[in-house]
Chain A
Amino acid sequence: PSSRILATADGPLLLAFKRDFGGDGESDPAQDIKTHFRVCRFVMETGVKLGMRSVPVATACVLYHRFFERVSIRAYEPYLVAMSCVYLAGKVEEQHIRTRDIINVSHRYFNSGSAPLECDKEFWDLRDSVVQCELLILRQLNFHVSFEHPHKYLLHYLLSVKSLVNRHAWSRTPI
Chain B
Amino acid sequence: LQTPSCEKNTSRSLTQMENYLKGSIIGRGTYGIVYKVTCLKTGKVFALKCHRSPVLRDEDTEQKDATIGVEDATVRELSCLSALRGHPNVIQIHDLFIDGENIAMLMPYAPYTLTVIHNGHGLKVNYDHGKALQVIPLSFVAHFSVQVANALSYMHGRNIIHRDLTPRNVLLTKDLTVKVADMGLARQSSKRMSPNVVTEPYRAPELFGDNSPKDYTCAIDMWSLGVMIADAMEGKVVFAEREKGSGTVSTYDIIVKTLCPRNHVKAPVTSWDIDDVMPNVMECTLVKRIVLQLLTFRENERLLAHELLQDQEWVQAAHMTEEDKNMVIHQIQQQQLRQASKRF
A residues sitting closer than 8 Å to B (CB atoms) are 3-4, 6-7, 9, 53, 55, 75-77, 80, 87-88, 91-94, 96, 98-100, 124, 127-136, 138-139, 142-148
Contact = CB atoms under 8 A, between A and B. Distances in A.
B68 A127 contact: yes
B163 to A, nearest CB: 11
A94 to B, nearest CB: 5
Nearest to A3: B1
Nearest to A10: B1
A139 B83 CA distance: 15
Contacts of A127: 68
Chain B interface main SS type: loop
Nearest to B193: A94
B6 interface: yes
B1 A143 contact: no
B21 interface: no
Given A96-B67, A142-B82, A132 B187 contact: no
B41 interface: no
B194 A143 contact: no
B72 A96 contact: yes
Given A53-B192, A91-B75, A143-B75, A148 B68 contact: no
Contacts of B4: 76, 80, 129, 132-133, 135-136
A117 to B, nearest CB: 13
Interface residues of B, number: 35
Contacts of A134: 69-70
A59 to B, nearest CB: 9
Contacts of B3: 6-7, 128-129, 132
B52 interface: no
A144 B83 CA distance: 7
Contacts of A99: 68-69
B79 A145 contact: yes
A79 B293 CA distance: 51
B83 to A, nearest CB: 7
B335 interface: no
Interface in B42-86: 56-57, 62, 65, 67-70, 72, 75-76, 78-83
B2 interface: yes
B83 A146 contact: yes
A-B complex: 3 closest residue pairs judged by Cβ atoms: A131-B69, A143-B78, A136-B4
Given A96-B67, A98-B65, A134-B69, A55 B75 contact: no
A165 B79 CA distance: 39
Interface of B: 1-6, 56-57, 62, 65, 67-70, 72, 75-76, 78-83, 98, 101, 159-160, 187-188, 190-194, 213
Given A100-B62, A131-B68, A142-B82, A92 B2 contact: no
B192 A146 contact: no
A132 B70 contact: no
B68 A138 contact: no
B65 A4 contact: no
B98 A139 contact: yes
29 contacts: A7-B1, A9-B1, A53-B192, A55-B190, A75-B2, A77-B2, A80-B4, A91-B67, A91-B70, A92-B75, A92-B76, A92-B79, A94-B72, A96-B67, A98-B62, A98-B65, A99-B69, A100-B62, A124-B57, A127-B68, A130-B69, A135-B4, A135-B98, A139-B98, A142-B82, A143-B78, A143-B82, A146-B160, A148-B159
Nearest to B3: A7
A134 B6 CA distance: 11
Nearest to A7: B3
Given A7-B3, A93-B190, A145-B79, 20 more contacts: A6-B3, A55-B191, A75-B2, A80-B4, A91-B67, A91-B72, A94-B72, A94-B194, A94-B213, A99-B69, A127-B68, A129-B4, A130-B69, A131-B69, A135-B6, A135-B98, A139-B98, A143-B75, A144-B83, A146-B83
A53 B190 CA distance: 12
